[in-house]
Amino acid sequence: MPLEIGAEAPDFTLYNTEKKKVSLSEYRGKNVVLLFFPLAFSRICTKELCEMSENYSYYETLNSEVIGISVDSLYTNGKFKELNQIHFPLLSDFNKQVSKAYDALMEEFGFDYQGVSRRATFVIDRNGKLVYQEILASPGDYPDMQKLKEVVASLK
């Protein structure tokens, strides 16, 4: 079931690429942009995360943290982050619990894969409330990056 705007964002704890646990609650006091992406190294995911990485300083100046989440292993995310010089944390939702909690799990994907994160963007304000979401129907769709910037810039 989709999350409602204004609702408390579901907290979670996942492993980052340095094998450390990271919880959403650690970011209270900052705005958070969660980027769920289907698969590391795929063409659209690489484009999206590289674009976000190039614009990372924009979000930092707005007291915001960007976090990428996929069902890939922390090792795959680590290599993807290294090769593409991604400047923000990538978290492994290998067990798919967080993707489910955010209604961002695609049950069926190409190649007969099952349980892959949808391409989805969520903005959570510094108080932990969901203020924006964009869940795309197709993994080939691209998020509205301009709208995302506007939403984050509008947060007080």
Q: Which residues are catalytic?
A: 45
For 9, other C-beta atoms within 10 Å of its C-beta total: 22
- Alpha-carbon span 40 to 35, nearest angstrom: 12
Query: 89-128: buried (b, 16+ CB within 10 Å) or exposed (e) per residue?
Result: bbbbbeeeebbeebebbbeebeeeeeebbbbbbbbbbeeb
Contacts of 115 (CB under 8 A, 6+ apart): 71, 96, 99, 105, 106, 107, 109
